[in-house]
């Protein structure tokens, strides 16, 4: 293969990978493009091409619960759990609706989003485990709503950022925030909730305040590749 042919094939693969990183298409379509690019690379013995999806640009990634049951009560307050964790780790959370279906996305740099997704998985697993334990001993109709609202409040306190950054008067250019504002137009959302049981709320808040991110990133099970 001549250098001209190799350049032409390489450019074609880059275009396919660019299509794979398009946030407006489904995950299945993205994977199909990546598969097509891999076949081209194997066919023409091209070992490495930079994937645009791993670039340093700001991206949007849909939150995917990793083997965690999202109950109605948790779903109602889920953005309140995601937002403080994402913000603490340098990202933002946005709520999208498509065909009356609500879903959340993380906005930020890819390495940060990987850590956010991992942290959320760990946190929700702990919250769900404690909820199941409490449910076995107390099946009150207000348990779910009150517990998860309290849990969200505990997470907010656990991942609380300092209100005053060091160096007053320092202006920081935040490319992630700029990208977020471009998507949302600066709009924010409010989460409503109904009847709250103070005891169940307190139980959830205690669990949220005491969650522990206890497993290292890049273990043998995930090999550091947290976004599939």
Nearest residue to 77 via CA among 199, 190, 168, 175: 190
Q: 166: pLDDT confidence band, cut at 50, 70 and 90?
A: low
pLDDT tens per residue, range 131-158: 988 888 877 777 888 899 999 999 999 9
Nearest residue to 91 via CA among 110, 118, 64: 110
Are the C-beta atoms of residues 13 and 40 closer than 8 Å to each other?
A: yes
22-36, 85-99, 182-196: range with highest mean pLDDT: 85-99
Name the residue with tokens 């590749």. 225
The residue among 17 and 1 whose pLDDT is bigger is 17
Name 101's bridge partners. Answer: 98
Are the C-beta atoms of residues 109 and 179 closer than 8 Å to each other?
A: no
Residue 51's pLDDT is: 52
pLDDT tens per residue, range 4-58: 777 788 888 888 877 877 767 787 888 888 888 888 877 877 766 655 554 457 8
Average pLDDT estimate for 167-195: 69
């Amino acid at each position: 293969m001549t250098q001209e042919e190799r350049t032409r094939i390489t450019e074609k693969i880059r275009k396919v990978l660019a299509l794979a990183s398009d946030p407006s298409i489904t995950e299945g379509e993205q994977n199909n493009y990546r598969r097509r690019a891999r076949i081209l690379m194997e066919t023409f013995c091209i070992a490495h091409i930079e994937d645009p999806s791993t670039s340093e640009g700001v991206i949007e990634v849909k939150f995917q619960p990793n083997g965690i049951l999202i109950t109605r009560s948790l779903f109602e307050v889920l953005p309140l759990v995601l937002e403080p964790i994402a913000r603490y780790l340098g990202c933002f959370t946005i709520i999208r609706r498509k065909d009356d279906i609500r879903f959340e996305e993380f906005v930020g740099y890819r390495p940060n989003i990987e850590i956010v997704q991992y942290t959320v998985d760990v946190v929700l697993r702990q919250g769900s485990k404690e909820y199941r334990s409490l449910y076995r001993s107390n099946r009150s109709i207000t348990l779910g709503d009150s517990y998860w609202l309290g849990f969200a409040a505990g997470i907010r306190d656990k991942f609380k950022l300092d209100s005053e950054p060091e160096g007053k008067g320092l202006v920081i250019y935040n490319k992630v925030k700029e990208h977020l504002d471009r998507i949302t137009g600066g709009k924010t959302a409010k989460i409503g909730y109904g009847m709250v049981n103070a005891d169940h709320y307190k139980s959830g808040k205690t669990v949220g305040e005491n969650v522990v991110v206890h497993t290292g990133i890049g273990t043998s099970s995930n090999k550091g590749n947290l976004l599939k």
